[in-house]
Amino acid sequence: MEILVFGAGRTGVKIAKEADMFGMNIIYFVDNNANNASNQKFFDIEVVKPNDYRLEKLKSLPVFIAIAGNQNSAVSVKSQLEDLGFINIAANLDERKKYYPDAIVNSKRNPKISHAFASMEITTSIGCPVGCKFCPQKLFVNKYKSIDKNAPLKFPLNDYRKCLDAIPTTVEICFSGFSEPFLNKNCAEMIKYAFDRGHPVSLNSTLVGLTDKCFNYMQDVMFRRVRLHLPDTNDYCNIKVTDDYLKLLDKFLSTIQSEKFIYVSHDNDTPAAVKNTINNSPYPYVYPYKLEKEIHDRAGNLDNDLAPCTPFLKGAIYCGKGARMPNYNILLPNGMVLLCCMDFDMKHVLGNLLTMGYEELFECDEMEKLNQAFDDDKMELICRTCAWACNI
């Protein structure tokens, strides 16, 4: 589906990401501040003024308004565009959503999907002694070992480099996966390698396993996003608040550079000493999650009753993270790539980056089956019981 996006700014980035996820093709960014004489581009797409002659034949295309500020600004832009003859204008998310079902149906296996907003989560180690209560760790470890008892438990550095070299640098590399990343002593070196290759890099961590040596590798790294899982007063997240932990947290927050810091507190009540450390840091308390928002049953893989069971979703569905092209994947220490961070039971293996290219992951038989299973609720698909899944 072809669309226009009004607004070539921060909100434009958000909508470009959304459009990419649903396989929509942005023909032009439209902006009142466009400088047509300079062939201005945004995401390699031309930015034109609303009255540009090139838009004359495109006035029936959907226009998604992407401007920051209150809804009144969007309404006033909508009226400006209507005066110019545009007829399908979406001024907010609800209005954009009307176009998604068609876009998804038309974009199954869309070869134009750019993977510009894709991500690959790195599982640096197998087995995580942190043992958070909301993590189906045992299920995953047993499954991994049962598939190949000789598979590495720590990602070998050379194999990691080989896998990364197969991934386009537009793909975000997220150190997270199915275990605490710093439990692999080479994690910081792996982070540096991804950053030096030019990938956007993000990190989800409890800081367990982080050592002083790691900071040397990360001193020049600018993370796109760091999400710290904090200790909590109910011990859902099993991290001990000791003097050493507080010192480490303080050093991390004063040393690591990130465009965004997010704190995850799993019972919404973080120990006071931890809060104080954060409040005195260069990155103050920004975004605490609440327990009920963050803990879910991992698409039915959690074997305790900490989170309610996600009901089975019937009919045609898509993933709220990746639409019909799920490119938010997990890379394991043996090179295997799984569908996503819910797949603790390794039900959907897309391939192995030690032996194949990145694009091949999306052309494999398993992806073909996934595409059918999104429509056919008789086929096996973990998304059916995942909190991220949505009906078309």
Give the binding site for ligand SF4 (CB under 6 A): 299, 319, 321, 326, 339-340, 342, 382-383, 386, 388-389
Element of type H or E holding 213 = helix 212-218
User: Among residues 230 and 386, whose Cβ is nearest to ligand SF4?
Assistant: 386
User: Among residues 64 and 388, whose Cβ is nearest to ligand SF4?
Assistant: 388
User: Among residues 10 and 109, whose Cβ is nearest to ligand SF4?
Assistant: 109
Q: Residue 65: which of 5, 17, 1 has the closest Cα?
A: 5
Interatomic CA distance for residues 316 and 321, integer angstroms = 16
Minimum Å distance from CB 160 to ligand SF4? Answer: 23
Interatomic CA distance for residues 266 and 259, integer angstroms = 23
User: Among residues 24 and 350, whose Cβ is nearest to ligand SF4?
Assistant: 350
| Span between the terminal Cα atoms of the chain, in Å | 16
Minimum Å distance from CB 344 to ligand SF4? Answer: 10
Minimum Å distance from CB 391 to ligand SF4? Answer: 12
User: Among residues 263 and 344, whose Cβ is nearest to ligand SF4?
Assistant: 344
Backbone angles phi, psi at 189, to 5 degrees: -65, -35
Minimum Å distance from CB 338 to ligand SF4? Answer: 9
Q: For the chain, what is the radius of gyration of the CA atoms?
A: 22
Minimum Å distance from CB 339 to ligand SF4? Answer: 5
Q: Residue 119: which of 174, 164, 193 has the closest Cα?
A: 174
User: Among residues 65 and 340, whose Cβ is nearest to ligand SF4?
Assistant: 340
Residue partners of 21: CB distance under 8 A and separation at least 6: 117, 321, 322, 323, 325
Minimum Å distance from CB 290 to ligand SF4? Answer: 20
Element of type H or E holding 246 = helix 243-255
Tokens coding 238 = 């099993």
